[in-house]
Amino acid sequence: MRKFILGLMLTTSLAACVEGERPKSNSSASDGVVVSSEFEGLPELEIEEVGLVQELPSDYPSNYIFAHNMNFYSILDGNINIIDTAADTLEFKGMINAAQMASFAQSKSRNELYVSETYYSRGTHGKKTDVLTIYDMATLNIKDEILLPGGKRGQSVIQKGSLQLINDEKLALLWNFTPASSISVIDMVSREIVTEIPTPGCALTFPLRGAAFATLCGDGKVASFVIDGADVSRTISESFNDIDDDAMFMKSARVGNTQYFPTFTGNVRPISVGTEQAIPLEEWSLVTPAERKDNWRPSGWQVVTAQPNGNLFVLMQNNGEEGSHKAGGSEVWIFDVEAKKKIGAIKLDKGGLSIEATRGADGHLVVTNLEMGLEVYSFDGNLQRSIIVNDTATPFLLHAAK
Amino acid sequence: MRKFILGLMLTTSLAACVEGERPKSNSSASDGVVVSSEFEGLPELEIEEVGLVQELPSDYPSNYIFAHNMNFYSILDGNINIIDTAADTLEFKGMINAAQMASFAQSKSRNELYVSETYYSRGTHGKKTDVLTIYDMATLNIKDEILLPGGKRGQSVIQKGSLQLINDEKLALLWNFTPASSISVIDMVSREIVTEIPTPGCALTFPLRGAAFATLCGDGKVASFVIDGADVSRTISESFNDIDDDAMFMKSARVGNTQYFPTFTGNVRPISVGTEQAIPLEEWSLVTPAERKDNWRPSGWQVVTAQPNGNLFVLMQNNGEEGSHKAGGSEVWIFDVEAKKKIGAIKLDKGGLSIEATRGADGHLVVTNLEMGLEVYSFDGNLQRSIIVNDTATPFLLHAAK
Amino acid sequence: MKFLDKLTEKTTRKIAHKSSRRGFLTKIGTVVVGTAVVPLLPVYRAHANPASASKYPGVGAQSTGNPQDPGDPTSCDYWRYCAIDGFLCSCCGGSASSCPPGTEMSPITWIGTCQNPADNRNYIISYNDCCGRSSCGRCLCNRNEGDRPMIRPQLNNDINWCLGTESQIYNCSTAVLIGVALDG
Amino acid sequence: MKFLDKLTEKTTRKIAHKSSRRGFLTKIGTVVVGTAVVPLLPVYRAHANPASASKYPGVGAQSTGNPQDPGDPTSCDYWRYCAIDGFLCSCCGGSASSCPPGTEMSPITWIGTCQNPADNRNYIISYNDCCGRSSCGRCLCNRNEGDRPMIRPQLNNDINWCLGTESQIYNCSTAVLIGVALDG
C-alpha cells in the first residue's frame, strides 16, 4: 500500500474554465499508471469551506410549492418539502419536519412558516405535546414555538382546513377534535392564544373577510364566526349540504370572493366569502347529462384548486360510484366559474390524487400522481416535468407558495 | 335511501361449519335483489368483542426471528418485527419501536426484550434522551425503562455488537461513542448502571465466559475485560487484525466456544471465547486458491451466522474488490469449522445483505435480500418462503430467537 | 416509489360495487355512539400484487375457518373491509377483530355496513384502530363505502381515531363485527 | 419494495474499480483529526434509474459548471462520492459541499480519497453530514472505497457522524473537497 501525504494547498480559481466543456474521458487509471489529461498541468481544484449551509429567499418565487408528506409509513415523522416546480435542476429547496398528521400554513407578510404538530416524549408513547412551530422562510430555522394546551389538536389525513390564517395573516385558526370539535384562535403577532370557539357538529375552517371565518356543519349548514378580541359572534345558514346523497367535499378553492366546493356526484357549491358571513350560492353541475351518465365525478384527496382570480380545476374520474370519492382521478377539468362551463381538460399521465395550481401569470398545475410522485403540467395540459418528493414519501397535500 | 335498524343480536355459534368448505359464490347482489345462498337460513354471524389485544407465548419458538428495521427513510422511527419464519400464515407476530439506530437484545431467562434508543423531545430536535426500554415478551408491553445518562449512546447502522448480554444475561454491555469510545455495564436484574469502562480505540463487544467480554481495537488487538462489581480488569492480545489490507468484519458468529470473524479478502479469524480471556486462533481461508482468484469474498452487512453447535454460514460475492465489502452477496457458503472446509453453498434468489440461522434442530437460514424482503431457506438450500417485513422497511439486521 | 400500487383500485372498486346498492350507515352511526365511532386514515388505495389483485406479496394468506365468513382477512377485498382505511391488523400480528400485541384498541370508532357475500346479510362493522406503535406498514388498504366528510365524524375514516387511548400513534385497523343491519 | 434498486451495484462497483488501485485514506485519516472524521450510514446500495444507471428518477441533473470537476453531483457515481454513505445533499436542497437550509453541518467527519477523472489527481474528501432534520429520502448512495471497520472510526461510514451538532438526527451527506492527496 502506498503512502500519501496530505497537501492542503489553496489553489487558484478555475473560473476561466468554460462551463459545459467536458474533459475527454481518458481518466481511467490502472495499476498506478496515470493517463495524461488536458487538465494535467492545471492547478488543483480549489479547496472548499466546511460548514456551509444554504439559505433561501425570504420571499419565495410563485413557482415554489410545499409538498406535505404525511409519511404514511412513519406518520410521526412527516415533513414538508419546498420544491421549485419550474426548475429542471436544483428543484428541491429544503425540508421542515411536520410530525404526526401536522397542519401547515405560510405567512407572506412575516416570511414565516407554521406547522401545528404533535410529539410524544418517547416517540410513540410517553408525554404528549401539541405545538405550533414557527420557521423562518429564508433559513428554515425554528424561530419560536407556541405550546397548544389541552391535547386537543385535531389529527386527520392532512388537509388545508385544519390550519388557516385570517385577518391579513394576523390570526391563525386551529381545528381541535377530542372528539368534541372546536377552533383555537391564535394571535400570530403576539403569539398568544386568543380564544377557543366551540364548534359542535362542525369541522375545519375557511376564511371570510377580516377577522371572520366559516365552518361546515353536520346538519348541512355553514356557520360564520366574527372574532372581536375574545368576543365571538355567530350566524348560521339554512341547511344546503346534502351529506347523505351528494356531500360537499371539505376541500375547496377560492376564486375572487367565492369558495368552491365540489360534491361527490359531480356538482359544485359556491359559497360567497367576500363579507363576514358565508352565503351559500346556487349549486351548478360540473358535468353534462352525458358525462353524468358515465359517472364522471370528482375523486381524490385535494380534488380542487384554482387560480386566485381565474379558473377552477377539479380532479375527475369516470365510472365513479358510492365509495370511489377518494380513488383519484384520471383527468383535471378546467372550469370558467363565471360561465359555469368546462373550458378544458388535462389527461393525467399517472392519475392524480391531489392537485394544486401555482400562483402568478406563469403558473402551472402540480399533481400528486397515484405513484406518489409530482407531475407539473402547463395549464393547457402539457406535461413539463416529473419530480420525486422522496423515495417513500406520501405527499397527499400540496400548497402553492403565496 | 333505505333505512336500517340496528340489530345487535348474539347469534349461536357456527362451530359446526366445516372448515375449508367454501360457499358457492352466488352472492352478487344487484339493485337490491338478494340472491339466495346456502347460508340464507342460517343464524347470523356471531357478534365479536371490542378491545381484544393479542398476546404471544413468553418463550418464543425457535423459528421466530427479530427483524430489526433501521427504517432508513425515517431513522428516528425504527422498529423490531417479530416474525415466525416457519409459518405460511400469521407469520407476523408483532412489533416494538426502536428509535434512532437502536440496539436490541433478548433475555430468555427473564422473557424480556431490550431496546437501547434515543429520543428528542420534538422528534428531530429539542431535549435528547437515551434510554434502554424493557419489553415483556408475552404482551410486548413496556415493563420499564433505564435512563442512560451523558448522551453518549453510540449510534451507527444497526449491529449486534452495540448491545450484548453476558453473565447468564445478568449484565448488559452498551457501546458508547462521543467520539470517545466506552462500554456501559448495566445490571439487568437490579436495573442499575454498574460502571462505565473506557475503551479508547476499541468498539463494540462480544461475550466471554461469565462476567467478561472482549472488544476489537484499532491497533489490531483484542482487549478482554473481567467485571467484578465495579472493578474491572483488562488483558490485551498481540496485534493480529490487519485492518489496512485484510480487515476483520466486526460481525461475527459463535460456534461452541469460538467466535468467528470473516475478513474482507476471504479469510476467517477464530477467537477463543470459552474463558474470561479472548485468545486469537489461527486464521484460515474461506476460499480455495481458484476462488480467491475469482475474488470470492464475504460481502454484505451481517455477513456471518452460525448454528450454535454446528456450521458457519458466510455471505459471499464474487468479483469482489476494495470497497465492495458491503455490496451484498449472491451465495451463502456453509463451512464445517472443525474441518475448516466448505461443505455447501446456497444460491440466493435475490441476493443477500444480511443472514441469520434460526436455532433448534429444525432451523433454517433467513436472508434479508437486496430488495429488503426476507427469504427463508432450508439449510440444504431450498427456498421455503418469502416474507415482507413491511412495505418500506430496511431490515438490515436479523436476530434469531434464543 | 412503486410500493403504492394503483392497480388495486380495480379490486377495491369491484368490491365497493358489490354492496354499493345497499344502504349505508348514514342513519345508524349516531345510534351506536356508545361503542361507536372509528378509525383513521386516508386515501383510496391498496397495496396488492399485480399478479393476484387480492394478495399482498410476502404476506401469508389467512382464512377465518368459517365458510359463512368467506375470504382472506389479509386481503383488501375481504368483505368486512368495505370502509376500512389503513394497515390491516390481520397482517400486523392482530386479526380482523383484535389488535397486535403491545398495542391498545381505540374505544372510539367509526362504523361501516358491509354485505357478507355468503349469507347476503348486511353486518355492522366497527373499524377500531390499534394504537401506541407506529405504522405497521403491511397491507395498506383503503375502501370508502359509506364514508362521508368529517362533519359526520362517525362516518369518516380520515380522522385519526386513536382517541381515548394512551397514545394517539396509529398502528393498524381492525374490522370488528358488532351487529346486523336489518333492512326495514 | 422496489425502491431499493440493486441494479446500481454495478454502477457503484464500476466506479469503485476505477480508483481501487489507488491508495486509500488508511494513513491519512488520523492526520486530519482537527476538522476530521465523517459521516453516517449503511449499506452498499444506490437508488438509480435502471434505464440510466447514473440518474435518480424525478431528480433534476446538475453540473458543477467546471470541466475540471466533471460529473453530476446528483448522481451516485460523481467522482467525489467514492466513499459516501447516505442521501446526497445535492438532491436535498444543499450541494456537494453545503447543507440544506435549516440543517447543521457536523464538524466531526470521516475522510475519503477520491480520484478526479479530469485531472487524475487524488483529492481528500470530507464527508460531513447535515443534521437536525430527518432523512431527506432522495438519492440514497453508498460507496465504500477505503471504508474500514468501526475500530478505525475516521475511516468508517457506518457511524452516525451527526456528532457535535445540536441534534443527532441525520438528513443528508456532503462531500467537501478539503485537500489533495499526494502520492509520495
pLDDT tens, position by position, B97-147: 999 999 999 999 999 999 999 999 999 999 999 999 999 999 999 999 999
C48-62 pLDDT tens trace: 333 334 589 999 999
Per the CB < 8 Å rule, is A45 touching D183? no
The pLDDT confidence band at residue B21, using thresholds 50, 70 and 90, is very low
- Would residue B113 count as lying in a domain? yes
Please give, rounded to a whole number of angstroms, the shortest distance from the CA of D39 to a CA of chain A.
13
8 Å CB contact of A124 and B97? yes
Question: Residues of D numbered 35-94 whose beta carbons fall under 8 angstroms of chain A's beta carbons: which are they?
Answer: 35, 47, 56-63, 65-70, 91-94
Same domain, C20 and C95: no
Q: In this predicted structure, what is the pLDDT of residue C128?
A: 97
Report how far apart, in Å, the C-alpha atoms of B371 and of each of A28, B155, C70, D53 are.
Answer: 32, 24, 33, 17
C166 contacts in chain A (CB < 8 Å): 125
Mean pLDDT of B182-189: 98
Q: For residue B236, is it within any domain?
A: yes
Percent share of chain B, pLDDT over 90: 88
Q: A118: distance to nearest CA of chain D, Å?
A: 16
Q: Which element (helix H / strand E) includes D11? A: helix D8-18
Cβ atoms of B133 and B118 within 8 Å: the answer is no
Any C CB within 8 A of A76 CB: yes
Within a domain: D47 = no
Could you give the residue numbers annotated as active site of C?
A: 110, 129
Please indicate, yes or no, if residue A358 is contained in any of the structural domains.
yes
Q: Which residues of A touch B (CB under 8 A)?
A: 1, 71, 73-74, 76-77, 97, 99, 119, 121-125, 129, 131, 133, 142, 145, 244-245, 390-392
Q: Is residue B141 part of a domain?
A: yes
Q: Do the Cβ atoms of C31 and B392 come within 8 Å?
A: no
Q: How far apart (Å, rounded) are the C-alpha atoms in residues B375 and B355?
A: 10
How many other CB atoms sit within 10 Å of the CB of residue A343? 11
Question: Which chains touch C (3+ CB pairs under 8 A)?
Answer: A, B, D
Whether residue B183 contacts residue B151, with contact meaning beta carbons closer than 8 Å, is answered with: no
Kind plus residue range of the DSSP H or E element containing B246: helix B243-246
Cβ contact A326–C4 (<8 Å): no
Q: In what order do the strands lie in the sheet with C170-173?
A: C104-105, C129-131, C170-173
pLDDT at D133 over 80: yes
Q: Which region holds residue B192: left if phi is over 0, alpha if psi is between -120 and 50, else beta?
A: beta
DSSP assignments along D94-107, one per residue:
SBTTBBPTT-EE-S
Grid cell of A36 as nine digits: 495524461
Q: Is pLDDT larger for residue B10 or for residue A126?
A: A126
| Cis peptide upstream of residue B395 (ω within 30 degrees of 0) | no
∠ CA C79-C80-C81, rounded to 5°: 90
Complex prediction ipTM: 0.89
| Residue A180: exposure state from Cβ atoms within 10 A (0-12, 13-18, ≥19) | exposed
Least CB–CB distance from D20: residue in B181, B299, B321: B321
Question: Which residue type is seen at A382?
Answer: N
Mutate to test the interface with B, among D24, D30, D43, D139 (most CBs of B within 10 A): D43
**Chain C residues near residue D47 by CB distance under 8 angstroms:** none
Q: What is the mean pLDDT of the segment spanning C131-145?
A: 97
Question: In angstroms, rounded to a whole number, what is the distance separating the alpha carbons of residues B121 and B53?
Answer: 29
3-state secondary structure at position D14: helix
> Please, are residues B221 and B185 in contact by the beta-carbon 8 Å criterion?
no
The answer to whether the Cβ–Cβ distance between A119 and B124 falls below 8 Å is: no
Query: From A124, which residue of chain B is nearest by alpha-carbon distance?
Result: B97
Nearest CB partner across the interface for A74, out of B77, B124, B244: B77
Chain A to chain C Cβ contacts (< 8 Å): 153
Compute the mean pLDDT over every residue in chain B, rounded to the nearest whole number. 91
- Which residues in chain D are closer than 8 Å to B319, comparing Cβ atoms? 13
Please report the pLDDT score of residue A36 as a whole number.
58
- Whether A30 has a pLDDT exceeding 80, the answer reads no
Domains identified in chain D, total number: 2
Residue D7 has pLDDT above 50, yes or no: no
C-alpha cell at position D109: 467527519
Residues D50, D52, D53, D59, Cα dihedral to 10°: -100
pLDDT at A19: 29
Is residue D80 within 8 A of residue D74, CB to CB? The reply is: no
Separation between Cα atoms, residue B391 and residue B370, nearest integer Å:
14
On chain B, the residues whose CB falls within 8 A of the CB of D16 are 321-324
CB distance A203–C150 less than 8 Å? yes
Nearest CA in chain B to D131: B124
Phi, psi of B373 (to 5 degrees): -100, 170
Please tell me which residue in D5, D85, D110, D147 is annotated as part of the active site.
D110
Residues D70-103: pLDDT tens digits?
999 999 999 999 999 999 999 999 999 999 999 9
Interface test with B, best of A71, A75, A80, A121 (most B CBs within 10 A): A121
Distance from CA of B87 to the nearest CA of C (A): 8
Euclidean distance between CA atoms A157 and A250, whole angstroms: 12
SS3 (DSSP) at A155: coil
Q: What integer pLDDT is reported at residue B32 of this predicted model?
A: 42
Q: Which residues of C touch D3 (CB under 8 A)?
A: 1-3
Largest CA distance in chain C: 47
CB contact at 8 A, A352 and A344 = no
Cα–chain center distance at B373: 14
| Most B-contacting residue of D106, D151, D172 (CB-CB within 10 A), to test interface | D151
C8 falls within a domain: yes
Q: Best of B324, B390, B396 to disrupt the D interface by mutation (most D CBs within 10 Å)? A: B324
Looking at B273-377, which runs of residues are DSSP E strands? Answer: 279-280, 284-285, 297-298, 304-306, 312-317, 329-336, 341-352, 354-357, 365-368, 374-377
- Amino acid identity at A299: S
Beta bridge pairs of residue D88: D173
Per-residue pLDDT band at B72 (split at 50, 70, 90)? very high
Count the Cβ atoms, other than its own, within 10 Å of residue B80: 24
- Between B54, B141, B391, which is nearest C99 by CB? B54
Q: How far is CA B258 from CA B195, B363, C5, C6, C106, in A?
A: 27, 20, 48, 51, 50
Q: Are residues D85 and D24 in the same domain?
A: no
Asked whether A84 and A90 are in contact (CB, 8 A), the reply is yes
Inter-chain touch D158–B156, beta carbons under 8 Å: yes
Closest partner CB to C116 (pick from B9, B45, B87) = B45
A19 vs D102: CB contact, 8 Å cut-off? no
> What number of C-beta contacts closer than 8 Å exist between B and C?
224
CATH number at residue B182: 2.130.10.10
Residue A38: the pLDDT is: 73
> Nearest CA of chain C to the CA of B120: how many Å?
16
Q: Are C19 and C114 in contact (CB under 8 A)?
A: yes
DSSP A256: T
The neighbours of chain B, by the rule of 3 or more Cβ pairs under 8 Å, are A, C, D
**How does residue A45 score in pLDDT terms, banded at 50, 70 and 90?**
very high
Task: Decide if A184 contacts A173 (C-beta within 8 A).
Answer: yes
At residue A284, does pLDDT exceed 70? yes
Give C148's contacts (C-beta < 8 A, 6+ positions apart): A243, A244, A247, C26, C155, C156
Task: Give contacts of C2 with chain D, Cβ < 8 Å.
Answer: 1-3
User: Is A120 a residue whose pLDDT tops 80?
Assistant: yes
Residue among B248, B250, B371 whose CB faces D4 most closely: B371
Answer left, alpha or beta for residue B231, where phi above 0 means left and psi between -120 and 50 means alpha: beta
What's the CA gap between A284 and A213, in Å, rounded? 24
Q: Residues A266, A298: contact at Cβ < 8 Å?
A: yes
Residue type, D56: Y
Return d(Cα A402, Cα A379) in angstroms, integer: 18
**Interface test mutation site (partner A, options C5, C14, C44, C130, max chain A beta carbons within 10 A):** C44
Q: Does A24 touch chain D (CB under 8 A)?
A: no
Please report whether residue A40 resides in a domain.
no
Least confident among A260-264, C90-94, D12-16:
D12-16
CB < 8 Å to B36, chain C: 120
* Structure-block grid coordinates of residue A371: 405513484
CA-to-CA distance for C80 and B56, rounded, in angstroms? 25
pLDDT (tens digit per residue) in B223-271: 999 999 889 999 999 999 999 999 999 999 999 999 999 999 999 999 9
B131 belongs to a structural domain: yes
Q: Residue A366: inside a domain, yes or no?
A: yes
User: Within 13 A of A296's CA, how many CA atoms are on the CB side?
Assistant: 18
For C112, which residue in chain B has the nearest alpha carbon? B6
Total domain count, chain A: 1
**More confident call, C38 vs A124:** A124
The boundaries of the domain holding residue C162 are: 79-180
pLDDT in tens, B367-402: 999 999 999 999 999 999 999 999 999 999 999 999
Question: What phi, psi does A62 have (nearest 5°)?
Answer: -70, -10
Task: Name the band, by pLDDT with cuts 50, 70 and 90, for residue A39.
Answer: confident
CATH number at residue D110: 2.60.30.10
In a domain? residue A9: no
Using alpha carbons, list the distances in angstroms from residue A376 to A17, A70, A355, B14, C44: 34, 20, 10, 55, 22
| Residues of chain A positioned with their CB less than 8 A from the CB of C143 | 323
Question: pLDDT tens digits, residue range B259-294?
Answer: 999 999 999 999 999 999 999 999 999 999 999 999
CA-wise closest residue to B374 among B92, B73, B102, B76: B92
**Quick check: is C162 in a domain?**
yes
Q: Do C120 and C34 share a structural domain?
A: no
pLDDT: which is higher, A133 or A34: A133
**Phi–psi pair at B293, nearest 5 degrees:** -65, -35
Percent of chain C with pLDDT strictly greater than 90: 67
Q: Which of D69, D72, D77, D129 is catalytic?
A: D129
Q: Do B17 and C28 touch (CB under 8 A)?
A: no
Strand pairing partners for B236? B223
Residue in C13, C42, C163 nearest the CB of A327: C13
Q: Which of C24, C134, C151 sits opposite A74 (nearest CB)?
A: C134
Whether residue B7 is predicted with pLDDT greater than 50 in this model: the reply is: no
pLDDT score at B41: 78
Any chains having at least 3 CB pairs less than 8 A from chain A are B, C, D
Does the pLDDT value for residue A247 go beyond 70? yes
The pLDDT score that the predictor gives to residue A35 is 53
Is C2 in Cβ contact with A371 (below 8 Å)?
yes
Q: Pick the residue with more confidence: B392 or D15?
A: B392
pLDDT band at residue A164 using 50, 70 and 90 as cut-offs: very high
